[in-house]
Amino acid sequence: MIFDLELILDSIPQMLMGLGLTLQLLFLSLALGTALAIILLLMRISGRWVLAAPAMAYIYIFRGTPILVQIFIIYYGLPQLELVRESILWPILREPFGCAIVALSLNTGAYVSEIFRGGVLGVDRGLKEAASALGLSARQRFIYITAPIAIRLSLPAYSNDVVSLMKSTALASTITLLDMTGIARTIVAETYAPYEVFLSLMVIYLVLTWMIQRSFGWIEKRMSRHVRSEI
């Protein structure tokens, strides 16, 4: 087969027009998802059954079902209910962008809260005991001792999740959004040239992934300065 170089050069700028939307989806749902993850984490480690059980159920549901199905339920399913169409949430759920943000945030929140929990559980028990020996309250112990260490421990897994969230934004193209993947699919439908267009799209995503990994690599290094200086 002949590779249509001209088509590639022509389609890459077109797909990059969707980069803004892809990044909006990524950063907005990352911020909302992380906030949700913290709430879920606090509920789970609260030690109170009424708080921990709903959080566990939520995490189980959102980690246990495909994100594409979640997007479809939110986009196509919810408007079937009169209740939703008349609620104050409708201006958000009416827009495909709002639906994508809601779905991606809810989904990533479940994953990230488990990542954070792993970080919290990884904090050495001795440190907490030392803190309480110093007379710090439970809240102070969490904020000054547990949280900073837990964040550092969670970072590698968290960066993984950011990459996978970035890839999940492509699913927004299934609900009419013209992110990079949505534009690529339109070009393919018009030109019948899936190889050239999707391969170029892959390269763009790989560059994005590389940038995310480098950023987190830098943050990890910075947060572990004290460890390296000791060696």
Partner 1 sequence: MIKKITQSLFAVVCLMTFIGIGTASAEKLRVGMECTYAPFNFKNENGDLMGYDVDVARGVAGLIGADLEFVCQKWDGMIPALLANKFDLVVASMSITDKRLEKMDFSDTYRISVGRLVGKKSAGLKLFDSTDKPIPANFADLKVGVERASTYADWFKNELPKANVVLYDTNESLYLDLVNGRTDMIMTNPMKAHLRFLSKEDGAGFEFVSPQIDERKYFGIGVGIGLRKGNDELKARLNKAIKTLTDNGYLESYALKYFPFAIH
Chain residues binding partner 1 by CB under 8 A are 76, 79-80, 85, 94-96, 174, 176, 178, 182, 185-186, 189-190
The amino acid present at 87, given as its one-letter code, is S
Please identify, using beta-carbon distances, which residue of 96 and 119 lies nearer to partner 1: 96
180 in Cβ contact with 15 (< 8 Å)? yes
Q: At what angle do helices 194-223 and 147-168 cross, to 10 degrees?
A: 170
- 6-39 as b/e, with b when 16 or more CB fall inside 10 Å? ebbeebbeebeebeebbeebbeebbebbbebbee
- Residue 61 Cβ, how far from partner 1 at the closest point, in Å? 24
Handedness of CA 214, 217, 223, 225 (dihedral sign): negative
Please identify, using beta-carbon distances, which residue of 95 and 124 lies nearer to partner 1: 95
- Residue 181 Cβ, how far from partner 1 at the closest point, in Å? 12
Strand (E) positions, 45-170?
none
Please identify, using beta-carbon distances, which residue of 10 and 220 lies nearer to partner 1: 10
Please identify, using beta-carbon distances, which residue of 80 and 229 lies nearer to partner 1: 80
- Residue 190 Cβ, how far from partner 1 at the closest point, in Å? 5
- Residue 147 Cβ, how far from partner 1 at the closest point, in Å? 41
